[in-house]
Amino acid sequence: MTVDTAEKPVENHAFEADVARLLHMMVHSVYSDKDVFLRELISNAADACEKLRYEAIAAPELLASNPDNRIILTLDEEALRLTVEDNGIGMNHDELIEALGTIARSGTRAFMERIEAAKSGEGAQLIGQFGVGFYSCFMVADRVDVVSRRAGSAEAWLWSSDGKGSYSVTAADLADAPERGTRITLHIMEDAKTYTSKWTVERIVKEQSGHVPVPILIAEKPGAEPAQLTDGTALWTRSKSDVTKEEHTDFYRSLSGQYDDPALTVHFRAEGRHEYTALAYVPGSQPFDMFDPDRKGRMKLYVKRVFITDDAELLPRYLRFVRGLVDTADLPLNVSREMIQQSPILTAIRKGLTSRILTAIEKLAESEAETFKTLWENFGAVLKEGIYDDFEKRTQLLGLARFRSTTSGENWRTLADYVKDAREGQDAIYYLAGTSLDQLKASPHLEGFRARGIEVLLLSDSIDSFWTMSAPEFEGKAFKSVTQGAADLSRFAKLGAEETATPEASGEVNDLLTFAKQALADQVSDVRASDRLTESAVCLIASESGYDRQMEKILQSAGRIDETAKPILEINLDHAMIRAIAKHGDDVAFKEDAVRLLLDQARILDGDKPTDPRAFAERLQRVFERAVS
């Protein structure tokens, strides 16, 4: 809606529904640390300055007579105002509405669901991770005015809102507007007046934004000469030995928008055929959107300290959790986005950076086991994607990988540990894949392996079913699913048991096996005696060729296959229930019900449901009636 006034028309807009909901949560904040708003505004201002530097490569006139970027914080304790002003790229009318009136980020809804359920103090991390930092200013301000003029434009615009559901946009007075860039004026609430204090603002800037690559100045009151707070020196240009752990933490937080400490810092300068400086951080906690299919890496590309893009593929997808940047002088400043993706220089940088990060993670595993354990628990599922799609780094990633197993308890096992402790004559690394660690531990497929002291890896990440197929072996031992093909466990003696020949099954039991093959021929490819079962009566396995049971389920769920192949039903011929059923050899109707119930029991143990629940219930009822009559 547009309201005509005597001076300039005022446009009134309602916030997009998601923004209105978000603002309500900001005003009624669950966050204990409201300092985050200033870091977010400074970060946005620095980004605007970086964007101007990039656009000025092709259009130097945008810098006009003011080529030096800066951010000025102006305090007004009497009027309870805090102003954050930059001379960056600025925004025109449409950009102002798009940037401050809507949220067009895929993770927003997940963010809001998180903060609605968040406990006090968690929000500081959430804000930066989902790119809604500007709106955090409504935690401390009851009105916000934004005046912005896009570089090279003769128009300036005023955006204003009290954060209660609507905002207005009107043409700004050019005499009061920045020459270029954006000025954000926060009308601070009475209970947040400390944010107009010089001591408070200086503390926050030095703690959280001390290494933003744009100088930050502070004026103690309107009209006062601003004094420099930070010099905008790029941290990555300094010698590695000159940067403290605290400075790295500060820079990581400003770079990543997170409030945790980095678990690992990789800072180096590469020289030789290609020269570049890299600064990379492995976060100390898992980003909430790490498994978002649209999520890309978060590495920034600079050329001679000029920000170029944060969309260059500087790391493979399985390292997408790493935050940081690369600064090189080997690329031209006017490099296009298309040229970046095809550049052999970027390919070489990507290869070198990937190697350095993986080597640093290896060293961390050797020197700081507890820190590495946390890193693996946060990012192991993503790192294992590299085993599947990075042939060159596969051996290195297999060495890094950690696993739960039937012998590990709550500890992690390496493949080297597994191979060292394998039984004599064991030529395979056995694994069981599924969706839940507890369900895997209870699987009947493990019984025969446990009885013989053979370790089985328990793989509960979805990527596990893929990399185990593409990684043919480790130290000469092939990966083999315990739900596929013959287990061939008879060659291993059971623990604590004497070496005795397995007694032959009775004629009645063999007859039951033959009957089951005929009765279930439409649902299974075979019915056979099992050497992997010691306690359970039945289980389902996949044939030797094709996919294992879990991989079939994943592909069917994704619509890649219409239906799974017929499984094999394995029966424990030594089980008391099987022997009891076999004694009723003349009762065909009972045996028909019994073998079909056994098949459904195997399906349930496999995490599935009976294919026909009604028929399952009717058979169960008939068997119960027979048992109690």
Residue 132 marked in a binding site? yes
Give, in order, the Cα–Cα distances in Å from 314 to each of 240, 327, 335, 361: 21, 11, 15, 18
Burial zone of 392 (CB within 10 Å; 0-12 exposed, 13-18 middle, 19+ buried): exposed
Closest among 351, 380, 375 to 364, alpha carbons compared:
375
Residue carrying the six token digits 């809606």: 1
Residue 107 marked in a binding site? yes
Residue 27 marked in a binding site? no
Residue 130 marked in a binding site? yes
Give, in order, the Cα–Cα distances in Å from 619 to each of 153, 591, 595, 629: 80, 11, 10, 15
CA separation for the pair 33, 334 (Å, rounded): 41
Tokens describing residue 490: 């008879």
CA separation for the pair 33, 592 (Å, rounded): 67
How many residues make up the chain in this entry?
629
Residue 131 marked in a binding site? yes
Residue 214 marked in a binding site? no
Residue 341 marked in a binding site? no
Other C-beta atoms closer than 10 Å to the C-beta of 234 total 16
CA separation for the pair 55, 48 (Å, rounded): 11
Residue 106 marked in a binding site? yes
Closest among 276, 254, 268 to 39, alpha carbons compared:
254
Residue 44 marked in a binding site? yes
**Cβ-contact 128, 18 below 8 angstroms:** no
Residue 417 marked in a binding site? no
Other C-beta atoms closer than 10 Å to the C-beta of 216 total 25
Bridge pairing between strands 71-76 and 81-86: antiparallel
Residue 479 marked in a binding site? no
In 5-139, where do the E strands start and end? 10-14, 71-76, 81-86
Binning the chain into helix, strand and coil, the percentages to the nearest 5 are: 40, 20, 40
CA separation for the pair 520, 71 (Å, rounded): 76
Bridge pairing between strands 306-309 and 298-303: antiparallel
Closest among 484, 627, 471, 626 to 567, alpha carbons compared:
484
Q: Give the contacts of 356 (CB within 8 A, at least 6 positions apart).
A: 266, 268, 278, 280
CA separation for the pair 231, 217 (Å, rounded): 9
CA separation for the pair 545, 455 (Å, rounded): 23
**Cβ-contact 171, 8 below 8 angstroms:** yes
Residue 40 marked in a binding site? yes
User: Which residue numbers belong to the known binding site for ATP?
Assistant: 40, 44, 86, 91, 106-107, 129-134, 182, 337
User: Which residue numbers belong to the known binding site?
Assistant: 40, 44, 86, 91, 106-107, 129-134, 182, 337
